[in-house]
Amino acid sequence: MDNTLAKTVAEIHRLHLQLREIDEQAERGPRQLKIRQQATQQKQTDLEAQKHKYKALRVAADQRGLQLKTNEVKIGELRIKLNQASSNREFDIIRTQIDADTMANSVLEDEILDTLEKVDAAHIALKQLEAAVAVAQADELRLTNDIEATLPGLQSQGTGLRQALQSAEAGLPADFIPNYRRLSQAYGAGALAEVDGNICGSCYVSLPPQMGVQIRAGQVLFCKTCGRLIYARVVSG
């Protein structure tokens, strides 16, 4: 009984599975980094928007403060005119103007207080966003360092496994290779499946009894259900 092909296929399958695991590990870090970079970028965008908001509120507060001072000067001038009024009618007109301007300033003072509260709140939000950006950047740096520390090792493991896979594939019979290539290009490690008991390891369907016998005798066949190349682990021989 010749088990050579089943053994070779089992070894190839083992190498494919290891290689898949290593490749997944190697891709995981850069994928996570990309997600974190996008998160950092979003936080930086938020921070820039908050800086603009904060600045605009301060400008508004300053402008209102300036307006208040201008109005106070105007009221002061009106009070001098009031003292110099030459008739009751002129006095009443100036008095009315002073009352109106004083009322306007009172409204302006409320607006300034309101704006200053908004400036404070915007400043707190700004500081929180700055802290969030710093945390995100530190996370990103840590992950970048992790990747730089582990990626070369994973890549060299991958290279070693690919070489071992090539050597193992060289042991396949020539008439077997086209089917193997076609399936492994389509499914990678999933091209091959081990039969456990009488069950295909890819689709979990029971094999016909005769096929089970052939597989256990060391043949490598196509599963009639899922089309994968199936083999049984050979204990000895």
Residues that bind Zn ion (CB under 5 A): 200, 202-203, 223, 225-226
Select 165 or 211, whichever has its Cβ closest to Zn ion. Answer: 211
Shortest approach of Zn ion to residue 19 CB, angstroms? 22
Select 71 or 225, whichever has its Cβ closest to Zn ion. Answer: 225
Shortest approach of Zn ion to residue 171 CB, angstroms? 24
Distance, CA of 5 to CA of 3 (rounded, Å): 6
Q: Look at residues 234, 160, 161 and name the one whose alpha carbon lies nearest to residue 195.
A: 234
DSSP character at residue 24: H
Select 176 or 187, whichever has its Cβ closest to Zn ion. Answer: 187
Shortest approach of Zn ion to residue 129 CB, angstroms? 54
Select 19 or 223, whichever has its Cβ closest to Zn ion. Answer: 223
Select 149 or 205, whichever has its Cβ closest to Zn ion. Answer: 205
> In terms of DSSP H, where are the helices of 84-169?
88-169
H or E segment to which residue 9 belongs: helix 4-83
The torsion angles phi and psi of 168, rounded to 5 degrees, stand at -65, -40
Distance, CA of 31 to CA of 108 (rounded, Å): 54
- The torsion of the CA quartet 12, 27, 160, 8, rounded to 10 degrees, works out to 0
Shortest approach of Zn ion to residue 37 CB, angstroms? 41
Select 3 or 202, whichever has its Cβ closest to Zn ion. Answer: 202
In whole angstroms, how far apart are CA 20 and each of 14, 39, 94, 194, 215? 10, 28, 89, 16, 25
Shortest approach of Zn ion to residue 41 CB, angstroms? 45
Shortest approach of Zn ion to residue 202 CB, angstroms? 4
Q: How does DSSP assign 114-135, residue by residue?
A: HHHHHHHHHHHHHHHHHHHHHH
Asked if residues 129 and 50 have their Cβ atoms less than 8 Å apart, the reply is yes
Asked if residues 191 and 16 have their Cβ atoms less than 8 Å apart, the reply is yes
